[in-house]
């Protein structure tokens, strides 16, 4: 107390506090007086004002500093860049601004050898993940490394961003990474149990939605880690009964997102969303039987028959001529024939192929009406995308005779269950955010 007069707060400390709190005027005033303050760092973690602003989401301070030609890739004690910290804390505006300033997406920290993509995936910030992925398309990384290699970049223990997202229970990030070329078959070297695939780690984390996503993308339930365990055994060991039920090799195979559609470059995004929805819905219907014996209760509301209304005022939409059950939502180009999302999937879908035959090519699907090659799938014009897809449901199933229009597809499509809203991500468990958390 007696030293009050001699005790003086250093200007860099004021700068760090102002950066943390977003006090732009203060930051500006300090830098006017002494621009060299920007090279100062905190004593222990070696955090610069740019790191602090990025981690705290102080976009105005961050922009102010970047406008002063500060390099965006400053390193702290752990060789973390401001971009990594912004991605870790989900500060999307700062992520975007740093990328715009040319921040390098392919820097590795010294703790786990992780990139900003690992951070975004592990902490479940899908918006930041998307921003980094989009940026990677146009940065030098894409030229030097290739985009596909970047998506599957490994940390010091051989974990890809997909491994981390699966382990940390973030189904949205899992989905996004798969959609961008994340490999379901990649094995870790040291993360988790060595030799773990993303499916092993999803089983370890216990997220049913992550398991669903990976299975729907063709993840192999029989893949063994280096201890010889399949994902089913990992889920059992950690007490995730529902995940174990889906992963049990003796339970029914899930429908897999069709290989011909995976790299269907002409697949219209809206049509793709409808098809994905139909696939997940079909798998949920299959799961009902599988999960019956477990204590798991569905996080999404059940589609009971009470929801079925004979509302014929929705008469504009045409009924699918294959199943006579669902409304036509997908149109085939160039012929213009229409069918429902379920029948479209049934057309291209196959159950999980034998891993040994996974290299065999899949024939291009053809239109079931005219047998012409499918060049493109789009959302049928008559379809009104309402807020609640169940509104489009029609209860023709009882009034129509199924013997008419018998088709080899009918069995498949009717086996796929009903179309409706899929409560995606509703079972999501928010991760605590302890980033030193070990597998
Ligand atoms: Zn149909
Ligand atoms: Zn046709």
**Ligand closest to CA 341:** 1
CATH, range 10-153: 1.25.40.20
Q: How far is the CA of 349 from the centre of ligand 1 (A)?
A: 14
Which of the following CATH numbers is that of domain 318-353+364-396+411-417: 3.30.40.10, 3.40.50.300, 3.40.630.30, 3.30.70.20? 3.30.40.10
Q: How far is the CA of 353 from the centre of ligand 2 (A)?
A: 27
Q: What's the rounded Cα separation, in Å, for the pair 120 and 95? A: 10
Are the C-beta atoms of residues 204 and 439 closer than 8 Å to each other? yes
Between 270 and 386, whose confidence is greater?
Answer: 270
Q: How far is the CA of 378 from the centre of ligand 1 (A)?
A: 15
**Ligand closest to CA 343:** 1
Q: What separation in angstroms does the CA of 86 have from each of 56, 82, 119, 388? A: 8, 6, 9, 35
Q: Report residue 284's pLDDT band, with 50, 70 and 90 as the boundaries.
A: confident
Are the C-beta atoms of residues 125 and 177 closer than 8 Å to each other? no
Please tell me the predicted confidence (pLDDT) of residue 406. Answer: 35
Q: Report residue 348's pLDDT band, with 50, 70 and 90 as the boundaries.
A: confident
pLDDT single digits (tens) 53-76: 999 999 999 999 999 989 999 999
Please tell me the predicted confidence (pLDDT) of residue 262. Answer: 62
Are the C-beta atoms of residues 240 and 427 closer than 8 Å to each other? no
pLDDT single digits (tens) 352-376: 444 444 444 556 678 888 988 887 8
pLDDT single digits (tens) 188-205: 998 888 999 999 999 999
SS3 sequence of 380-415: CCCCCCCCCHHHHCCCCCCCCCCCCCCCHHHHHHHH
**pLDDT for residue 97 is more than 50:** yes
Question: What is the average per-residue pLDDT within 428-433?
Answer: 34
**Ligand closest to CA 414:** 1
Closest among 374, 373, 247, 394 to 314, alpha carbons compared: 394
**Ligand closest to CA 376:** 2
Are the C-beta atoms of residues 198 and 163 closer than 8 Å to each other? yes
Q: What's the rounded Cα separation, in Å, for the pair 158 and 112? A: 10
Region(s) of the chain under CATH 3.30.40.10:
318-353+364-396+411-417
Closest among 74, 71, 51, 75 to 61, alpha carbons compared: 51
Region(s) of the chain under CATH 1.25.40.20:
10-153, 155-257
Are the C-beta atoms of residues 292 and 414 closer than 8 Å to each other? no
Q: What's the rounded Cα separation, in Å, for the pair 318 and 384? A: 11
pLDDT single digits (tens) 215-267: 999 899 999 999 999 999 999 999 999 999 999 999 888 888 776 666 555 67
**pLDDT for residue 414 is more than 90:** no
H/E stretch holding 130: helix 126-138
Q: What's the rounded Cα separation, in Å, for the pair 395 and 399? A: 8
**Ligand closest to CA 322:** 1
Q: How far is the CA of 297 from the centre of ligand 1 (A)?
A: 29
Q: Is 39 exposed, middle or buried (0-12, 13-18, 19+ CB in 10 A)?
A: exposed
Please tell me the predicted confidence (pLDDT) of residue 260. Answer: 61
**pLDDT for residue 78 is more than 60:** yes
Q: How far is the CA of 373 from the centre of ligand 2 (A)?
A: 8
**Ligand closest to CA 336:** 2
Sign for the CA dihedral angle at 332, 336, 341, 342 comes to negative
pLDDT single digits (tens) 18-36: 999 999 999 999 999 999 9
Closest among 152, 136, 154, 135 to 144, alpha carbons compared: 136
- In sequence order, what DSSP letters do the residues of 188-207 get, joined into one string? -SSSSSTT--HHHHHHHHT-
**pLDDT for residue 399 is more than 70:** no
Q: How far is the CA of 339 from the centre of ligand 2 (A)?
A: 10
Please state whether beta strands 255-256 and 376-379 pair in parallel, antiparallel, or not at all (unpaired).
unpaired
Between 107 and 345, whose confidence is greater?
Answer: 107
Q: How far is the CA of 327 from the centre of ligand 1 (A)?
A: 7
Q: How far is the CA of 326 from the centre of ligand 1 (A)?
A: 5
Please tell me the predicted confidence (pLDDT) of residue 134. Answer: 93
SS3 sequence of 90-116: CCHHHHHHHHHCCCCCCCCCCCCCCCH
CATH superfamily of 155-257: Ankyrin repeat-containing domain (1.25.40.20)
**Ligand closest to CA 366:** 2
Q: How far is the CA of 337 from the centre of ligand 2 (A)?
A: 5
**Ligand closest to CA 368:** 2
Helix axes 49-56, 59-67, angle to 10 degrees: 150
């Amino acid at each position: 107390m007696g030293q009050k007069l001699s005790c003086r707060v250093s200007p860099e400390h004021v700068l760090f506090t102002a950066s943390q709190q977003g006090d732009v005027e203060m930051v500006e005033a300090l830098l006017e007086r002494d621009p060299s303050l920007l090279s100062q760092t905190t004593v222990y973690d070696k955090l610069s004002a740019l790191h602090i602003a990025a981690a705290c989401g102080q976009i105005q301070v961050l922009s102010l500093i970047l406008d002063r030609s500060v390099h965006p890739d400053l390193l702290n004690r752990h060789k973390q860049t401001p971009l990594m910290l912004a991605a870790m804390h989900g500060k999307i505006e700062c992520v975007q601004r740093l990328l715009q300033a040319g921040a390098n997406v392919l820097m590795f920290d010294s703790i786990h050898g992780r990139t900003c993509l690992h951070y975004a995936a592990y902490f479940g910030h899908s918006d930041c993940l998307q921003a980094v992925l989009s940026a990677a398309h146009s940065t030098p990384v894409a030229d030097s490394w290739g985009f596909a290699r970047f998506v599957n970049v490994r940390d010091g223990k051989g974990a890809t961003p997909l491994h981390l997202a699966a382990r940390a229970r973030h189904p949205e990030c899992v989905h996004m990474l798969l959609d961008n070329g994340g490999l379901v078959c990649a094995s870790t070297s040291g993360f988790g149990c060595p030799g773990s695939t993303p499916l092993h780690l999803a089983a370890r984390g216990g997220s049913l939605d992550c398991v669903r996503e990976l299975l729907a993308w063709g993840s192999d339930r029989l893949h063994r880690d280096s201890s010889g365990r399949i994902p089913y055994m990992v889920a059992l060991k950690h007490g995730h009964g529902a995940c174990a039920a889906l992963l049990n090799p003796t339970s029914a195979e899930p429908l897999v997102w069709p290989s011909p559609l995976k790299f269907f470059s002409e697949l219209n995004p809206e049509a793709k969303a409808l098809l994905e929805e139909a696939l997940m819905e079909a798998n949920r219907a299959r799961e009902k039987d599988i999960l019956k014996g477990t204590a798991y209760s569905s996080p999404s509301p059940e589609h009971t028959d009470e929801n079925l209304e004979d509302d014929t005022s929705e008469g504009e939409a045409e009924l699918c001529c294959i199943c006579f059950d669902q409304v036509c939502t997908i149109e085939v180009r160039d012929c213009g024939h229409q069918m429902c999302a379920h029948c479209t999937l049934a057309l291209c879908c196959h159950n999980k192929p034998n891993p040994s035959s996974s290299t065999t090519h899949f024939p291009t699907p053809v239109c079931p009406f005219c047998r012409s090659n499918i060049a493109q799938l789009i959302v049928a014009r008559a379809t009104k995308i309402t807020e609640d897809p169940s509104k489009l449901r029609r209860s023709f199933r009882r009034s129509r005779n199924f013997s008419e229009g018998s088709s080899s597809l009918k069995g498949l499509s009717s086996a796929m269950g009903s179309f409706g809203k899929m409560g995606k991500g509703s079972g999501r468990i928010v991760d605590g955010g302890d980033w030193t958390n070990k597998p």
